[in-house]
Amino acid sequence: MKQVVLLIFFFYFFNVSIFFFAFLQVIGLADGRCFCQVTGDLDDCACDVETIDDFNNNRLFPKLQRLLESDYFRFYKVNLNKPCPFWTTTSHCGLRDCAVKPCSPNEVPEGVRASSHNKYSAAANEHQTDCEQENRLGAVNVSLSNETREALLSWNRHDDEAERFCVVDDEESPDSQYVDLLLNPERFTGYRGAEAWQIWNSIYEENCFKPFTIKRPLIPNVLHSSAGNDAKIFHSWLEGQCVEIRAFYRLISGLHASINIHLSARYLLDDSWYQKKWGHNVTEFQKRFDADLTAGEGPKRLRNLYFLYLIELRALAKALPFFQRSSFQLYTGKVEEDQKHKGMMLDILQLARSFPLHFDETSLFAGDEKEAAKLKEDVRLAFLNISRIMDCVGCFKCRLWGKLQTQGLGTSLKILFSGRQIEALPTSDIQGPAFQLSRQEIVSLFNAFGRISTSIRELQNFRELLAEEQ
């Protein structure tokens, strides 16, 4: 009996040792493979990786980073205390790096924390005092009853939600707080394991139009050795879907890839009593994106990141007329700075519009009008659901950046499919535009694209680090 037990133990130890040795060999050879397939044309697009790298890294990225440091874009109002609407969360992340420090009222510029009423209208701000004085002097009472006002607000919310692809937190809620994004950067917090897995599993399995019989590609390991075969079946299924379903999956995959790049680029390298040091973790990056370590999935995920970049870049280009209106202000209460930053923003939007190989959104939801409308609504509701899943993230810092980035992508989709409303924007400041963006949507739109732009730039850093190791 003892001999049998020893034989089984030796057999198990021998196989595990072979696997571990092979894994170390793969790690050692992985340096040049992360990017070997991330070149050339992108699927469903008339663009290539090299054009995006040059445009982003050399022209757009530096300007965008300077803009995002301004007061208007660095303060984001968010409700981090919403309960998870889909399952009961047992606990929140207890790690200190998961914490988010909200702003005290005096830290937020007065113009940002003031009521959003008339905030973006220069004419309205100029004449607000006159209007208030007129009301005090006994102008005709045209105020609405509370019931009517609530009904109008409800109608407006319904109209807004019909065009939205994501949940937008109520900025007037007492649970919503301003957060300084520069003081709460996205980086590795140690949040991982079953809870983090449940978030992404719910997103992919329940909201990406995939039948449960088709297994999505996972990182191969001893317990999951059929990853390569699963990947072939999955991608064969995906290629057989319509362009809209393929695009939806690639957007989610690209967002996932971007977040993983941020965590690898700002990884906790040293956590001692006297210092905390974050920096690039090449091994972590390889684990997530090397072709052999991910059964060929890593390079596909990086290509999906470039697809996501094109979608959000196209949205910025299309939104230019909305921001060009003289009535629109980046209102913080500091007039000279606000004008300067609006000029910087318009410069970035003009640059985005000058990109030579934009994604053509007219290729989506074309064909039969009723079928296209039904598919668009299905996609909108699926993405709306994903934005709600962000309230299930246990790590508050991860929740903050997850909510912001899904909201930013949702705002991009809203812009892409509101072309007619944007083209019909009135030139007069008197007539209110049919197309609207709240401050929360604007801040998330630019910061979400800032995260994607940063990811593209970080890929260049990882290329150089991998080359040095070779």
Residue at token pair 């998330």: 444
Q: How far is CA 410 from CA 36, 186, 323, 399, in A?
A: 31, 19, 18, 16
**Do residues 109 and 332 make contact, with C-beta atoms less than 8 angstroms apart?**
yes
**Do residues 71 and 334 make contact, with C-beta atoms less than 8 angstroms apart?**
yes
**261, 265, 271, 274 alpha-carbon torsion, rounded to 10°:** -150
**Do residues 450 and 61 make contact, with C-beta atoms less than 8 angstroms apart?**
no
Determine if residue 401 is labeled as part of a ligand binding site. no
CA distance 146 to 150: 6
| 242 among known catalytic residues | no
Rounded to 10°, the helix 243-265/369-389 angle is 20
Q: Residue 390 carries which DSSP code?
A: G
| 398 among known catalytic residues | yes
- Which two three-digit tokens encode residue 212? 């449960």
Determine if residue 288 is labeled as part of a ligand binding site. yes
Cα–chain center distance at 70: 20
Q: How far is CA 385 from CA 86, 165, 378, 388, in A?
A: 10, 9, 11, 5
DSSP-based three-state secondary structure for 278: strand
Determine if residue 428 is labeled as part of a ligand binding site. no
Long-range CB contacts (within 8 A, 24+) of 263-268: 263/186, 263/187, 263/188, 264/188, 264/288, 264/458, 264/462, 265/458, 265/461, 265/462, 266/185, 266/186, 266/187, 266/188, 267/187, 267/188, 268/97, 268/187, 268/188, 268/190
Phi, then psi, of 180 in degrees rounded to 5:
-85, 110
For residue 283, which of 28, 22, 16 has the smallest C-alpha distance? 28
CA distance 309 to 303: 10
Residues 6 or more apart whose Cβ sits within 8 Å of residue 402 = 259, 390, 393
For residue 122, which of 325, 329, 324 has the smallest C-alpha distance? 329
Residue at token pair 């040795």: 21
Determine if residue 155 is labeled as part of a ligand binding site. no
Determine if residue 453 is labeled as part of a ligand binding site. no
Residues 6 or more apart whose Cβ sits within 8 Å of residue 449 = 64, 312, 313, 316, 408, 412
Determine if residue 262 is labeled as part of a ligand binding site. no
Binding residues for FAD: 187, 189, 200, 253, 256, 288
Query: Annotated binding residues, as ranges?
Result: 187, 189, 200, 253, 256, 288
Which residues participate in catalysis according to the annotation?
395, 398
